[in-house]
């Protein structure tokens, strides 16, 4: 019984220390940490060949709802093994995002020299 109280005391002390450490972070540091974590998270997609629905939505920059609409209408390539979870091949998503290419139109600027 005494051992459990000691563990609870240690746990409370550690929680207090964590709360103090977090409170010492200024908002800019917390914001910078979040930005770096997001960047690392986004870079992890580069290491995978097959993505889940959530990962695919994040990868191509659309909502999960929009992704499901595209799969329902068969407007985006996807895989549904055994009729359950939906998966996406990253290479096919890249190709899909590159469809309907519009070339750059350059204007020739002619100078009117007098």
Give residue limits of the domains in the chain. Answer: 1-47, 48-99
Look at residue 51 in the predicted model and tell me its pLDDT. Answer: 92
**CATH architecture of the domain formed by 48-99:** Alpha-Beta Complex (3.90)
Residue owning tokens 């972070």:
25
**Percent of the chain, pLDDT > 90?**
38
User: Which phi and psi angles does 26 have, rounded to 5°?
Assistant: -85, 160
Task: Using the predicted structure, report yes or no on whether residue 2 has a pLDDT greater than 60.
Answer: no
DSSP string of 29-65, one letter each residue: HHHHHHHHHHHHHHHHGGG-SEEEHHHHHHHHT--HH
Residue owning tokens 């204007």:
107
Rounded mean pLDDT, 93-109: 86
Residues in the chain: 114
Look at residue 8 in the predicted model and tell me its pLDDT. Answer: 63
Rounded mean pLDDT, 84-103: 92
Its pTM stands at 0.57
């Amino acid at each position: 019984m005494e051992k459990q109280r000691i563990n609870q005391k240690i746990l409370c002390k550690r929680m207090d220390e964590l709360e103090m450490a977090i409170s010492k972070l200024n908002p800019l540091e917390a914001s910078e940490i979040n930005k770096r974590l997001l960047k690392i998270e986004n870079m992890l997609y580069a290491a995978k060949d097959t993505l889940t629905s959530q990962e695919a939505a994040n990868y191509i920059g659309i909502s999960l709802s929009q992704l499901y609409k595209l799969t329902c209408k068969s407007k985006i390539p996807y895989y549904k093994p055994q009729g359950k979870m939906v998966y996406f091949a990253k290479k096919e998503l890249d190709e899909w995002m590159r469809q309907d290419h519009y070339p750059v139109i350059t204007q020739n600027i002619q100078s009117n020299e007098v």
